[in-house]
Amino acid sequence: KTIDSILLKVKNISDQTKMLGLNAAIEAARAGETGRGFAVVAGEVRKLSEESMNTVNEIKKFVGQISETLQGLGQQAMAGMEGSEEQASAIEEITAGLQEIEATVRTVDKVAQKL
């Protein structure tokens, strides 16, 4: 969310820069030949604004991909934990079964020794 907030600020700055570039181009056109050099600067400001906006969009896309990847990893971790819990439960059942078998073998051994 912090990244989204920063990207929104950069987008707003980019939008404002674009408007300033447009206004500067209009003023340069009004100034005629005298404003010709300023028109070049205004055009560069608009290009910079567009590049900033494109970069913001690329970052948003990248952050979205990272977010999706992290969500997927979280789901895999949860599934792994559930699987581990199932395995632990199965091991406990097997251990209990082996303990019962051991107790039965001891009982049979005692009976066999008495005979």
Helix, strand, coil % in the chain, rounded to nearest 5: 100, 0, 0
Residue 31 lies in a domain: yes
Residue 108 lies in a domain: no
Residue 104 lies in a domain: no
Q: What are phi and psi of 97, to 5 degrees?
A: -65, -45
Distance of alpha carbon 95 from alpha carbon 101, whole angstroms: 10
| Residues 50 and 61: beta-carbon distance below 8 Å | no
Residue 66 lies in a domain: yes
Range of the domain at 23: 2-86
pLDDT in tens, 73-93: 888 888 777 777 778 888 888
pLDDT in tens, 2-40: 888 888 888 899 889 888 888 888 888 888 888 888 888
* CATH number for the domain harbouring residue 23: 1.10.287.950
Distance of alpha carbon 20 from alpha carbon 13, whole angstroms: 10
Q: What are phi and psi of 40, to 5 degrees?
A: -65, -45
Residue 91 lies in a domain: no
Residue 98 is predicted with a pLDDT of 84
Which residues, at least 6 apart from 56, have a Cβ–Cβ distance to it below 8 Å? 7, 10, 11, 14
Residue 97 lies in a domain: no
Over residues 91-110, mean pLDDT: 84
Number of domains in the chain: 1
pLDDT class of 115 with cuts at 50, 70, 90: low
